[in-house]
Amino acid sequence: MRKTLVGIYERLLKVYGQLHWWPAKSPFEVIVGAILTQNTAWSNVEKAIRNLEVAQALSPAMLVDLPLAEVERLIQPSGYFRQKAQRLRIFARHLMERHGGSLVRLLDGPLDDVRKELLELKGIGPETADSILLYAAHFPTFVVDAYTVRIFSRLGILDGKEKYGEVRDLFLAHLPHDSFLFNEYHALIVEHGKTCCRKKKPLCNACSLSDICFYYGHPG
């Protein structure tokens, strides 16, 4: 399995090159982006983050102090803005009250402990927690998303019914625990899922994985 997973990574890397995620100017912006990107396109998240930036609200203190309606207004482009404003508020308040507003303090601990703390916050599920841990704190954890499940199911490595933790464990069990590798691997999966292994009409004839793909030749 290790050889297969590394082989897929190398093929995707050859096609797309290093993607250097996450597109953010600071770890706090990574976290805000990870919360806002739930169920929406990244372009909408960028607009919401830009609004927060212009309003000088891209900080834990401001996200606690601003009226919730104002946070909602600023992040409206990201969709589900009421729910997401609450989630940002919950995270920011936790950071302020438990860690004095310091991300360094929040993220300074063994991976499993920090992950558990994040998962206890309302609105932070495993994908968001792992995105924060990997991209804001460079912990060697693997982010699983819908692209991961789709691509690796089509390749015949998953059956598509596994729980989040099972998919994450598969990658963690067979790959070196290297945050650089996990950073690039997840970014490559997203790129491949968006541009080639699309939900409808995947571009199999142009895919660098077609010779090892179960779906290819057996679509539907």
Binding positions for ligand SF4, rule: CB under 6 A: 151, 154-155, 196-197, 202-204, 207, 209-210, 213, 215-216
Q: Cis peptide leading into 42, omega within 30 of 0?
A: no
Residue (55 or 204) nearer to ligand SF4, CB: 204
Q: Under 8 Å CB-to-CB from 178, ≥6 apart: which residues?
A: 140
Instruction: Tell me, letter by letter, the H, E, C secondary structure of 58-92.
Output: CCHHHHHHCCHHHHHHHHHHHCCHHHHHHHHHHHH
Burial class of residue 117 (count of CB atoms within 10 Å of its CB; 0-12, 13-18, 19+): middle
Residue (45 or 209) nearer to ligand SF4, CB: 209
Residue (44 or 210) nearer to ligand SF4, CB: 210
Q: How far apart are CA 126 and CA 190, in angstroms?
A: 17
The answer to whether residues 149 and 160 touch, using CB atoms and an 8 Å cutoff, is: yes
* Residue 75: CB minimum distance to ligand SF4, A: 33
24: helix, strand or coil = coil
* Residue 171: CB minimum distance to ligand SF4, A: 17
* Residue 184: CB minimum distance to ligand SF4, A: 18
Residue (15 or 172) nearer to ligand SF4, CB: 15
* Residue 204: CB minimum distance to ligand SF4, A: 3
* Residue 209: CB minimum distance to ligand SF4, A: 4
CA distances (Å), origin 191, targets 16, 17, 18, 110: 8, 10, 11, 30
Residue (91 or 171) nearer to ligand SF4, CB: 171
Residue (61 or 203) nearer to ligand SF4, CB: 203
The answer to whether residues 157 and 215 touch, using CB atoms and an 8 Å cutoff, is: no
